[in-house]
Amino acid sequence: MNKMLKWLIILAVAGFAMMLTVKIPALGFAEASFCGRCHAMEEQVSTYLHSPHANAANCGDCHDPHGLITGSAFAAYTGARDVYRVVTNTIPAEIRTTNLSQKVIQDNCLRCHGDIMAVIGDTSHNGGSYCFHCHQEIVHER
Amino acid sequence: MSSDQIKKVLLIAVPVLLVILAAAIFLFNRNNDITLEGPQGEIAAHETDSSVWGRFYPAHWDSYQANNYNIDNPSHFDTKPYLQVMYAGTGFSREYNEPRGHVYSIEDVLAIDPARKKAGASCITCKSTQVPELMDKYAENYYLMSFDEIAGEVSQPIGCLDCHDPKTMDLKLTRPALIEALQRQGKDIDSLTNQELRSLVCAQCHVTYYFAPDSKKITFPWDKGLKADEILAYYDEKGFSEWVHPDAGTGLVKPRHAEYETFMNSTHESAGVACADCHMPYTRVGNKKISSHTWQSPLNNIEESCTTCHRNGTDWLIQRVKTIQSQVKQTQDIAGNAVVEAINELKISRESPEVDQAKLEEAMYQHRKAQWYLDYVAVTNGYGFHNPTETLNNLGIAIDSAHKSVQLAREARGLK
């Protein structure tokens, strides 16, 4: 029993550490070169690479929460979900952001563009529009 | 290593690791902070002088001041002569000019033909930012006061306090007619979303309304719905007419700038766009963006208003808008001429000796309907762009009703 517990703890610690690797830039798990390995992301990645954002932000900078724990947990969940969709061949024809994902992206818009938006504030405040409702094609198509 | 040495290493390593961890968390969170400016200063709860607000919000004030450049106030009769025939019997037939915008609201309303001032204090309701204060002062008597009595008490045109809470700068409704209309629809005023408010603050004034017969209170005829047919049904049910046309003898109702009603359920509105998204687009001023307070046609600043969403090029976009507006104008002119024809036929029939009264009544109702639908389109800014399909649908009904009116009026005096 004691041995079992020991292994469980080791597994949990190792799993947690592996999850955190998403946030280690050198490993590139948030880079387009990693996300673009799936066919499903081809259109997004190839148009993103031609956008000005390609010089300043990678996929994870916009699509994952910035926090170390929250960001890596979110990425681990969405990453696992996406892998499941790919291996079971159930990728939706039209890939759309979830409600949670929209909030994550909005925060990340403001994290970099907070200066220019300082006066206007968070446009999504109290049922408002997200930045990308209008600026739809600014980073990648679809 | 002995256990002593391990202890020594741990004694140094553990605090060092803790400091690194704390620093990492601190730096992560600091980078995660989104620095947004809140209100820039304390503005008095009833500050009606917009220039006082302007000291704290200079960029907004500049864009508000740019409204001063809108100096044209052409007569609607130059481009829509049929309106003058339709409005016979009202002050509108004397003069109906395009006003010059929010900053000139008081000057323009003071300059209208005296025949149009009969409605009294109500006329000033949407012309001054001091009106909510005066409504508090005079309560229900406000609407019963004369034009000149209230006009003498206002000096500040439409400004900041009309749409903003001076404490939080959040959007706020200040005109009772809209608040009451929404409450009759069962809406909770306190739980409106920001995106709804970005249209509703405009809907305080850019809507159709009427003066309730006895109290003269400004009332929105929205209880059956916001669309032209539902509003006409509301008036018909009440048997309400604003005036009787002296030539046609028809009891008529007058629509007013129904921009908000027209915009509702349009392609843009159902896609989640608000009035302010096109008419007050986020505009770069130096290193900041602000919501422009220069109220104008979005075509004047198309790169801020349209191209944020529509990446098809400004030439193409302008062409699309012009096409829609010229088609609406053409159809509107057809309807206008048809309504004038109905008025002329009704006049002849009424003067004819043996006239079939029942047929004449029917002809008058068709005239009331035709004029309502046409006027609803004609007095709404934008030549139908706020909702092209609905506008053309309304004009179609106007043309059909006018033709029916002509036919019935002719039959009433024995013609086929």
Nearest C-alpha of chain B: how many angstroms from A28?
18
Where would I find the H helices in B193-258? 194-203, 228-238
Question: Are B243 and B362 in contact, with CB atoms under 8 Å apart?
Answer: no
| A133 lies within 8 A of chain B by CB | yes
Residue in chain A lying closest to B305 (CA): A134
Judge whether A38 lies within some domain: yes
| B309 lies within 8 A of chain A by CB | yes
Q: How far is CA B122 from CA B117, B127, B210, B258, B339, in A?
A: 9, 10, 10, 17, 29
Judge whether B129 lies within some domain: yes
CB-nearest partner of A120 from B28, B289, B309: B289
State how far the Cα of A51 lies from the Cα of A46, in Å rounded to an integer.
Answer: 9
Judge whether A140 lies within some domain: no
Cβ distance of B291 and A127 shorter than 8 Å: no
SS3 per residue for chain A: CHHHHHHHHHHHHHHHHHHHHHHCHHHCCCCHHHHCCCHHHHHHHHHHCCCHHHHCCCHHHHHCCCCHHHHHHHHHHHHHHHHHHHHCCCCCCCCCCCHHHHHHHHHHHHHHHCCCCCCCCCCCCCCCCCHHHHCCCCCCCC
Cβ distance of B195 and A128 shorter than 8 Å: yes
| Mean model confidence pLDDT for chain A | 91
Is the pLDDT score of A102 beyond 90?
Answer: yes
State how far the Cα of A55 lies from the Cα of A66, in Å rounded to an integer.
Answer: 18
Nearest to B22 by CA among A28, A68, A26, A12: A68
CB-nearest partner of B290 from A68, A120, A129: A120
Question: Are A138 and B307 in contact, with CB atoms under 8 Å apart?
Answer: no
State how far the Cα of B399 lies from the Cα of B396, in Å rounded to an integer.
Answer: 5
* Residues 317-376 (B) with a CB less than 8 A from some CB of A: none
pTM for this predicted structure: 0.87
Judge whether A76 lies within some domain: yes
Three-class SS of residue B365?
Answer: helix
**Structural domain total, chain B:** 1
Share of chain B residues as helix, strand and coil, in percent rounded to the nearest 5? 60, 5, 35
Longest dimension (CA), chain A: 60
Nearest to B301 by CA among B329, B273, B274, B282: B282
Judge whether B371 lies within some domain: no
Cβ distance of A126 and B193 shorter than 8 Å: yes
Judge whether A139 lies within some domain: no
Tokens 């209230």 correspond to B150
Length of chain B: 416
**Structural domain total, chain A:** 1
CB-nearest partner of A127 from B193, B284, B291: B193
| Mutate: best of B194, B309, B310, partner A, most A CBs <10 A | B194
Q: Give the range of the structural domain holding residue A95, as residue numbers without chain letter.
A: 2-134
* Residues 51-80 (B) with a CB less than 8 A from some CB of A: 59
Cβ distance of B32 and A111 shorter than 8 Å: yes
Question: Are B407 and B367 in contact, with CB atoms under 8 Å apart?
Answer: no
Cβ distance of B288 and A107 shorter than 8 Å: no
pLDDT tens digit at each of 416 positions of chain B: 688 888 888 899 999 999 988 988 787 777 666 667 778 788 999 999 999 999 999 999 999 999 999 999 999 999 999 999 999 999 999 999 999 999 999 999 999 998 888 889 999 999 999 999 999 999 989 999 999 999 999 999 999 999 999 999 999 999 999 999 999 999 999 999 999 999 999 999 999 999 998 889 999 999 999 999 999 999 999 999 999 999 999 999 999 999 999 999 999 999 999 999 999 999 999 989 999 999 999 999 999 999 999 988 999 999 999 999 999 999 999 999 999 999 999 999 999 998 999 999 999 999 999 999 999 999 999 999 999 999 999 999 999 999 999 999 999 999 87
Domain of A45, CATH number, reads 1.10.3820.10
Q: Return the structure tokens found at B63.
A: 């864009």
Tokens 């259109």 correspond to A43
Q: Give the range of the structural domain holding residue B129, as residue numbers without chain letter.
A: 50-308
Judge whether A91 lies within some domain: yes
Domain of B155, CATH number, reads 1.10.1130.10
